[in-house]
Chains A and B, each alone.
Chain A
Amino acid sequence: MEDKTVCIEFTINREKKALQIPSRMSALTVIRDILGLTGTKEGCGVGECGACTIEVDGQAINSCLMFGAQLDGCNVLTVEGLEKEGQLHRIQKAFLDNHAVQCGFCTPGILMSTHALFEENANPDDEEITKAIAGNICRCTGYQQIFASIKDACSTKTGNG
């Protein structure tokens, strides 16, 4: 079926955008293919792996399960927006320091789930951390390092975050 287009206006990584997109296009496709922000990954495409996690109005969501049209009026943050003025976010820095990246495909999603957690709760306990990233699957099974990184990021206040 031929797709009509829909006009959307939203803020992504602190920049205002006005786009005309096909009505059925996912938010993930808008971000990757139209805006060229390929840090956000498509893993399963059905909301089970969390690789496509972005932050919409402060909440972590699966961009593969969201229509691009639903971005209208929203404030969006993708992994590209974590860095500010050439400074990595403290979460990113902690992932580097603790060797929490193996193949790296799940990393952007986990960074965003962690960022959304910190937005709500700057000092989460172990259980809250586990729960916040439970929707992100890492097939290199590097969970120990990921968990250690998030703990580390809780305690450091360096970097831009």
Chain B
Amino acid sequence: MNYITPDNLKDALNFLACHGEDTEIVAGGTDVMIDLRAGKLEQKKNLLDIRNLAELKGIDFKDEKLFIGAGVTLTEINRSDTIKKYAPALVKCSTTFAGRQIRNRATIGGNVAHSSPCGDTIPPLVIHEAVALIANKTGEKLIPVEAIASGPYQSSLSKDSIIVKFILKPCRANFTDFQKIGRRKELAVSRMSMAIMADKDEQGRISFIRVSLGACTPIPQRMDEVEQFLMGKIPTQDLIWDAGKILAEKMAGVTGRRASSVYKEPAVQGLFMRILYPVVL
């Protein structure tokens, strides 16, 4: 294997244009190392280290949009006042993402590109209707984050491209949260994760809601049915419980009923209830 460390995005994209199929991109490297060890990269000829690409760094807010470079680490997200202000659920997710040592290396772009069903950054990005700016040698395009994973560990991105940055709609709701269920508090692979953003009008009716589920479906996704069910209604305990039931059914519809459903369906409902309880009147 070759190990290549280009100095800028242009050089990296030129390299990928010729060798994309044989190349594995290394951002933090925390997932690539695991795949390498598991023998999944035997067909690859090159490792392309993108750490020097200045285009992938930085966090910025302008023109009512939040920009997060794909090369930003989870630790940088955790410490960013800008992200805390405009996408607090993403900061919350960064506090429980893997362990400290991994957060110091792992990048948000790597987490999304790896397309793990339990990629913790994806549900918080999805509630912000985040789009990714994708570049290849011939140009740039915008793809919704939700459309990047085409299946578990399968990315729809072409092999000649790199995620440059994410563009998020800033949080305009009074309530937002991310929670996950894992086997322990730290270093836990999510069994289930959920990001929610919600707001109420003057009459106490839900006027805005975004719900995204991760880890318990093959790809993290927005849950439109649940959002539609709740819109315009006054959030009572019973209503949230019923919405959680719809969410559980939707999950079962996506994954099919499995041995784990006996646990997962009530757990999804319970997690939904736990997150949204603060908005109950």
Contacts and interface: CB of A to CB of B under 8 A. Distances in A.
B229 to A, nearest CB: 37
A65 B33 contact: yes
B101 A23 contact: no
A69 B5 contact: yes
Interface string B5-21: 10000000000000000
Contacts of B207: none
A131 B30 CA distance: 20
Contacts of B98: 47, 135
Contacts of A116: 100
Nearest to A45: B37
Given A6-B3, A113-B100, A47 B47 contact: no
Interface in B4-56: 5, 26, 29-30, 32-34, 36-37, 42, 45, 47, 49, 51
B102 interface: yes
B30 A134 contact: no
Contacts of A53: 101
Contacts of B105: 61-62, 65-66
A36 to B, nearest CB: 22
Interface residues of B, number: 28
Contacts, number: 95
B102 A65 contact: yes
A46 B99 CA distance: 12
Contact of A67 (B2, B29, B187): B29
A75 B187 CA distance: 26
Nearest to B45: A1
Contacts of B49: 67, 69-70
Given A65-B102, A67-B26, A26 B185 contact: no
B133 to A, nearest CB: 25
Given A47-B30, A62-B30, A134-B187, A70 B102 contact: no
Interface string B46-80: 01010100000000000000000000000100000
A50 B3 contact: no
Contacts of A61: 101-102, 104-105
A62 B34 CA distance: 12
A20 B98 CA distance: 31
B225 interface: no
Interface of B: 1-3, 5, 26, 29-30, 32-34, 36-37, 42, 45, 47, 49, 51, 75, 98-102, 104-105, 185-187
15 contacts: A47-B34, A47-B102, A50-B99, A56-B104, A61-B102, A62-B102, A66-B29, A66-B30, A67-B26, A67-B49, A134-B100, A134-B187, A135-B102, A135-B186, A137-B187
Given A26-B33, A65-B33, A135-B101, 9 more contacts: A23-B3, A24-B47, A48-B99, A67-B33, A69-B3, A70-B49, A72-B5, A113-B101, A134-B99
Interface of A: 1, 3-4, 6, 23-24, 26, 45-48, 50, 53, 56, 59-62, 64-67, 69-70, 72, 113, 116, 131-132, 134-137
Give the 3 A-B CB pairs with smallest separation, nearest first: A135-B99, A134-B186, A23-B3
